[in-house]
Amino acid sequence: MHILLAAATTFEIQPTIDALGNRRESGQHRIEPLITGVGGMATAWSLMRQIGSNRPDLIIQAGIAGTLRDRFPGEVLVVGEDEPADTGVWEAGRFKTIFDMRLADADARPYTNGRLVNPHGRLMALTGLESVAGLTVNEITTSIERIRWYQQNTPAVVESMEGAALHYVCLQERVPFLQLRSVSNAVGMRDKTQWDIPGAIAALNERLIALLDHPALQTDTEP
């Protein structure tokens, strides 16, 4: 099976790249790393370019993330649904999405009730990870008002800058996919003394390597 292993930055998946070594070219799977760059636009372009030139059987996006809930650094999760969190407008003290403004249909493909839902339940189960909701932003959230809004009005547990792009592209192109996120920090003021990026990366890659070695991964790509 041809697996595309996507990440925004090299350092997020470098331990897995190192561990795979020559196995990227032989064995059970052909695993191709893809560094998309940071943000939704770069991710969407990179994924579409790859799908168009050498379509994979499965795309796994892996990276670190901030958390909007009471989760701890190093906790690894699989994102079952994601959504673009800042596509809309702040108006009269609340955020309105493009669906609230009736600029788009919340149930038109690839959306389900305004969210980008991964339909590949068996694939997500193979990870052995808790499935959570994600938010994708263009600007990392530091505003207390915005954080409270997300906590009170969305089910999101993690925040990233690339997740929704993965879900959107793969749902539109009908490519099976997984999004793995490891918590590095709480969303909010950027006090990096409270972050644990090395621990988050170590935990992420441990689970990622185990997933790539899972004996059922090659046949379990249908929703």
> In this structure, is residue 160 part of a structural domain?
yes
* pLDDT of the residue at 192: 77
Residue 194 has pLDDT above 80, yes or no: yes
> In this structure, is residue 131 part of a structural domain?
yes
Distance between CA atoms of residues 95 and 86, nearest Å: 8
Residue 219 has pLDDT above 60, yes or no: no
How many CA within 13 A on the CB side of residue 178?
31
* pLDDT of the residue at 108: 96
Residue 23 has pLDDT above 80, yes or no: no
Two tokens, residue 116:
């980008």
**Residue 193 DSSP symbol:** G
Residue 4 vs residue 217, higher pLDDT? 4
CA 5 from chain centre, in angstroms, equals 12
Two tokens, residue 66:
């901030």
* pLDDT of the residue at 95: 87
Distance between CA atoms of residues 198 and 204, nearest Å: 10
> In this structure, is residue 220 part of a structural domain?
no
> In this structure, is residue 110 part of a structural domain?
yes
> In this structure, is residue 48 part of a structural domain?
yes
10 Å CB burial of residue 42 (0-12, 13-18, 19+) is middle
For residue range 105-154, list pLDDT tens digits in order.
999 999 999 999 999 999 999 999 999 999 999 989 888 888 999 999 99
Residue 197 has pLDDT above 60, yes or no: yes
Structural domain count, the chain: 1
Distance between CA atoms of residues 30 and 213, nearest Å: 12
**β-bridge partners, 132:** 79
Label residue 25 by pLDDT band (50, 70, 90).
low
For residue range 33-43, list pLDDT tens digits in order.
999 999 999 99
Contact at 8 Å (CB) between 20 and 31?
A: yes
Mean pLDDT for the chain overall: 92
Distance from the first to the final alpha carbon of the chain: 17
* pLDDT of the residue at 191: 77
Residue 22 has pLDDT above 70, yes or no: no
Residue 223 has pLDDT above 80, yes or no: no
Contact at 8 Å (CB) between 94 and 88?
A: no
Please tell me the pTM assigned to this model: 0.93
> In this structure, is residue 218 part of a structural domain?
no
| CATH code (residue 184) | 3.40.50.1580
10 Å CB burial of residue 91 (0-12, 13-18, 19+) is exposed
Domain range enclosing 146: 2-212
> In this structure, is residue 82 part of a structural domain?
yes
> In this structure, is residue 134 part of a structural domain?
yes
